[in-house]
Chains A and B, each alone.
Chain A
């Protein structure tokens, strides 16, 4: 009742209505101070959850084991002279570059295949292909663990049914590395696919029509139109994926815990082992930050290349 009466009152007071409109306009009118105030919560979140932990971990990585003395870069020097850490570097590099290569390749093939489908069919396949990526990784890795489980492996059962000898998926260094990379490729391929597919959609159709008139083959169209047009998105996606793959933790933690014989340890899992399980937080922090300078420099050059190519 009260509402309709207010409405009638408002109807009867045009000055009042104008005042409301003016006030509302004044509130939403762009003002630097309002913008800054509205950004503040996000700003504090970034400071609290990204900037502070980052600088704190740098500080931690420069302390001694008991965290009582500042040792500068001594921890990094210590790690580099340590056999197991050198093995972790090798593992991380092999894991990351192999996984990113296959994720990019499969993602590209999938994107081309889905792009070639009629629009209606694309939606379904796009959705199906994304399932692996939207599932929580630790959960899906548990599923993979059951597939690879050393004694009751579902995959080995299938291989035996097909007359193939079972494989020591998690017991042998080669196969354990293979298994961790396979799960990472399975998880990460949809991300590449969706990025490449979006970029494919933005290539003007007339380029392909002109190429068809000129008699270009499928490979020539791919080589001279598709790849150059996707160059930037490929660079950015691979950079992003390289950073996240180097930082991977869940897959190794669930599947192998770094074994057998440390053959699958990555920076993340090794850092956890040293810092949390071994009680040496500074050394753990140094391991987790080890790749930062290399990745930061790579990111700088890749992004500069992309910017120049756009210009």
Chain B
């Protein structure tokens, strides 16, 4: 029998992506195979030439001089999540907030701060721009904007941040820290990160090809996603619409290298095994894996090894795709956006293909999804995230209450 106090459910999903605001736009865009990656020249910084996926046409009312772009995206996604849950922000007053970001307010800072900080702060708006620099500000922005007073903090674990915020929020719900949580991630396009990934020679100048043998690197995108998480008991008491059940989650670390994943994908494989143990599901029951799939040579081969290990003994190859092929890698938001996509895939029974995947990595245990969207019931789905520093997070969702 289900323990409603120990069952974590998703009752709202908010998204700001290059497709626009809302999960419905994301769903329509992805199911139609629309790719948001575009050629960029001198856009984010002078001299940059490559491929990115920007969010365009943000509503002006969301702008505020105190908010960085990271904060703006987060506030809009949180608003969308609350609307999706059918409640206004007053219902969330006692709720908690765990928002992830790798950048925080770095969008507000420029290289001038390092040359002469005092002069930089004295320049018009320098001091108020710097207020959003600490990455905690992304959680504060959401909390202050909506008057939410529960436990509040930001999470930064490189590219696994968004998924980890969801996992931590779920653990805190079980601990009774708050009646509900807004959990997710937000990261914008920014000269700092584009330059950093460029310096590491990790960017594909063209639209990326995750899991392809000819993959050349990652594209960066921007966006934010926020989930409303609560216990089933809480959701039932309010007659809330349950969008999905978070059946299991796990967090591990490779303890291997600052930027490279462990070659055999052992850390991610362990994470998958732990999440399945928590969810009490077998390898055969998982219908789809939304992979981290950045498109870098090292990540994708390590990840393929992880799936081969974790799903060994499965009767049929595990269906896997990378939705970063649609709108790039949104860094601290990626894990949350992909959690939203995974829930959407499960609810609509859609196996989303990896775009531009023509010559997949040879992995007999993996069904690399490509070509058209396939339709089938997907009761249990998984989202996997990894990041610099070796962090891994796996989330398992169930599309309906069993």
Query: Do the two shown chains form a genuine complex with each other?
Result: no
Interface residues of B (CB under 8 A from A): none
